[in-house]
Amino acid sequence: MADDKANAAAYWKANVRLITGCLIVWALVSYGFAILLRPLLAGIPVGGTDLGFWFAQQGSILTFIGIIFFYAWKMNRLDQQFGLGE
C-alpha cells in the first residue's frame, strides 16, 4: 500500500514537472518572443517580415502544436515507466 502511494506520488511529481516545463516554453514563446522581445527581434527578417512579428503570428502557433505532440509523447513514455501504459 505504501509502495503504491509512493509510486503515485512520483508519477504525479513527474507529470507536474512536465506540465510546468511545457507552460514555461509556452509563456516564453507567446509572451517573451512575441511581445517583450519583439523590438529586439524586429531587425531579423523571416519570410518577408521581421522575426518578432513572425513569432506573434506563426511561430507561437507552430510552437503550441509542437508542445502538444511533445506532451503526448512524453506522457506515453511516463505511463510506460510507471506501468500505466495502454
pLDDT tens-digit map of 17-67: 999 999 999 999 888 877 888 888 788 888 788 888 887 788 888 999 999
Give the pLDDT band of residue 13 (cuts 50, 70, 90). very high
Cell numbers found for residue 81: 515507466
Q: What is the pLDDT of residue 65?
A: 95
Q: pTM for this structure?
A: 0.79
Measuring CA to CA, which residue among 24, 20, 53, 18 is closest to residue 38?
Answer: 53
